[in-house]
Structure 1
Amino acid sequence: MKIYTKSGDKGETSLVFGVRVPKFADRVEAYGTCDEANSSIGLALSLLPAGDDWTELRKVFHVIQTKLFHIGAELATPAGKEVGWPIQEEDVHFLENEIDKLDAELPQLANFILPGGHPAAAAFHVARTVVRRAERKAVMVAQQEEVNTEVVKYVNRLSDYLFVVGRYVNQKTGHTELQLHES
């Protein structure tokens, strides 16, 4: 299989099942932003310090990155067509449990914090903002066509999880969270 197909040279791409749409179609924007979020997460993971301290977090992100790939596939599937790996309520609960686990180890927030600190933490915050954009794109598609409601919930929880992971990485690496400057 060749990497290039030339089928998109005229500004169209194929959804799952071969439906052709413009490359700027809302579904394409939505699943493309999920792909971008997945890459951002991969970059953030590459910036974690070496060592076994991060093994569990890496395992969780392996699941998350796989689910993001599945979400992209769902968003690339035209309404009315069967999806191979649908996101389910249990996937959302998995994220909620992971958020609760990490959040229990963090000091309670009293103020807004600024993204930054350890390079991996900062990268997780960037990934969070990309996921928020993916969520907005998925909601836009859901306003126009049928979309699995669990997709939007999952992406929403994922941005919350990435926020907590950014804080967790800063704490574990000894970086102080910067609070919003009072004007």
Structure 2
Amino acid sequence: MGHRISKVYTKTGDDGLSGLADGSRLPKSHPRFEAMGALDLLNSQLGLLLAQLQQETAAHPELQQVVDALAPWQHILFDLGGELAMPQYQVVQQGHTAQLEQQIDQWTALLPPLKDFILPGGSILIAQTHLCRCEARTAERRCQQLHKLEPMRAEVLAFVNRLSDLFFVAARIIALHQGCAEVLWQAQPAPQA
């Protein structure tokens, strides 16, 4: 494979426009770039989570299963960003969403049923996984905004929707493997009139 990037800066975006793979240029604030940026941020948060998980596998070897389950999605997220940059490149398929659902179901079967809302916390890993969940929701909203302007494939919208569910259940499975109690929401008393 040859060099893909010869220069980090090109100066072509100084006018507030950025290019897509087909050579067209759009404002950097265009919903397409907003969606690409949200996916990139999610990918970065996931990278941080994977690095933190890797550090904890010595203390909790069962966390390697979580690393192995989540790591491939970082590549798919990058591919999805590529799909937004060049719509003819259609990498995300219905099978990807089915794989997410299978992993969610597999982890859910190991967890106690939910009776309360869960707050992000309990450990750094759990909180970081919830950050990924939140970033996945943001990416989904940005994709939906783009979809209103330029229809997106149903496979992509379903996939992005399912990602936050994966991270929610991943946070719970990490808590289980770390032996951390989940932080349960406690409703505050209603203010007195």
Deviation at 1:5, TM superposition (A): 1.3
Matched, 1:88 2:97: no
Q: Deviations over 1:82-112 (max 9, x none)?
A: 11x4211100000000001111111110111
Whether 1:34 aligns to 2:39 is yes
Superposed CA offset, 1:139-168 (max 9, x none): 111111121111111111110000000111
Count of aligned pairs between the two proteins: 179
Verify the 8 A CA contact 1:118 1:169 in the aligned structure 2: no
Give the percent of matched residue pairs that are identical in Structure 1 and Structure 2: 37
For residues 117 and 75 of structure 1, the distance between their equivalents in structure 2, rounded to whole angstroms, comes to: 36
Deviation at 1:10, TM superposition (A): 1.4
Task: Give distance in 1, aligned partners of 2:130 and 2:97.
Answer: 20
How far apart in 2 are the matches of 1:135 and 1:76?
17
Which residue of structure 2 lines up, in the alignment, with residue 47 of structure 1? 52
Aligned residue for 1:17, secondary structure, equals: coil
> Of the candidates 127, 135, 148, which is equivalent to residue 122 of structure 1?
127
Q: Which runs of 4+ in 1 moved over 6 A?
A: none
In 2, Cα distance between equivalents of 1:55 and 1:44? 12
Partner of 2:74: 65
**Structure 1 runs not aligned, ≥5 long:** none
Once residues 49 and 130 of structure 2 are traced to their aligned partners in structure 1, the CA distance between those partners, rounded to angstroms, is 9
Q: Secondary structure at the match of 1:47?
A: helix
| Aligned counterparts of 2:64 and 2:174: Cα–Cα separation in 1 | 13
Larger Rg: 2
Distance in 2 of aligned mates of 1:74 and 1:146: 13
The Cα RMSD (Å) is 1.2
Aligned mates of 2:24, 2:65 — CA distance in 1:
40
Q: In structure 2, what is the equivalent of residue 182 of structure 1?
A: 187
Q: Secondary structure at the match of 1:133?
A: helix
Query: Which runs of 5 or more structure 2 residues have no equivalent in the other structure?
Result: 1-5, 189-193
Is this contact kept in 2: 1:38–1:65, CA < 8 A? yes
Counterpart-to-counterpart distance in 2, 1:62 and 1:47: 12
Match of 1:170 in 2: 175
Q: Given the alignment of the two structures, is residue 75 of structure 1 paired with residue 84 of structure 2, yes or no?
A: yes
